Amino acid sequence: MSTHARHICYFFDYAALSMYSLGSALAYSAYVFPAEWLNSPFHRCYVPVAVLNSVVSTSLSCYSRFLEAERPRFSKASRTLAFVYPYLFDSIPLFYRVRTACLHSTKTFHTAFAFLTCFIFASHLPERLAPGHFDYIGHSHQVFHVCGIIGTHFQMEAITMDMAERHDQLLPPSLLPSSLQTLGAMGIGMAVSLAVIGLCSVSLRFMPEPLQREKPHGY
């Protein structure tokens, strides 16, 4: 795989993560928001801001690929921020409910695995402690994906329980977002993210290929 193709695959990966964040916000808006926040100004702005966050997340994470060669630490920090900020914003109603009420263990597990995923992604553990021993199995990239999948499982379980238990306590059907509004938010986020991917992919032609070291004769 060429370097440019590898970058493009990462662009789509980042866009998928931002859409996952937006999908979480849509579910939280409908089923996780505290009852006292329903139909408040924050609740009404929550999904539009989540759409904006998804666009910023895709843009910042894709742009970070262009910084890797010259400013690797800033590139890593930018990419981490691009993923962490939308999660923190989306989770504001969840954090509030965790602080004010005793929630199901699934929500606690989801939050714990989310922070563990972020920690492993940023710290590069365990390979930092034993370089060369986790190149194929146990690498931090593998571990944080596993933690992310487990956290997503608990997230889906928690949302399903909230949907069943709080359905009658939340907004009346007339005030719930319609399918068109939900799909519209996802469609806008997806369309802009694809536009960002296209722009970044075209810009790759101006990024020189990394120089490859010449191999000695006989290799």
Query: Which residues line the annotated binding site for Zn(2+)?
Result: 141, 145
Q: Count how many Cα atoms sit within 13 Å of the Cα of residue 15 in the half-sphere of its side chain.
A: 21
Contact of 18 with 58, CB cutoff 8 Å:
yes
Return contacts of 1-6, CB within 8 angstroms, 24+ apart: 2/209, 3/209, 3/210, 4/201, 4/204, 4/205, 4/207, 4/209
Rounded to a whole number of angstroms, the CA Rg of the chain reads 20
| Sequence ranges of the binding site | 141, 145
The residues near 120 (Cβ < 8 Å, ≥ 6 apart) are 140, 143, 144, 147
Q: How far apart are CA 63 and CA 117, in angstroms?
A: 22
Q: Is 111 within 8 Å of 98 (Cβ atoms)?
A: yes
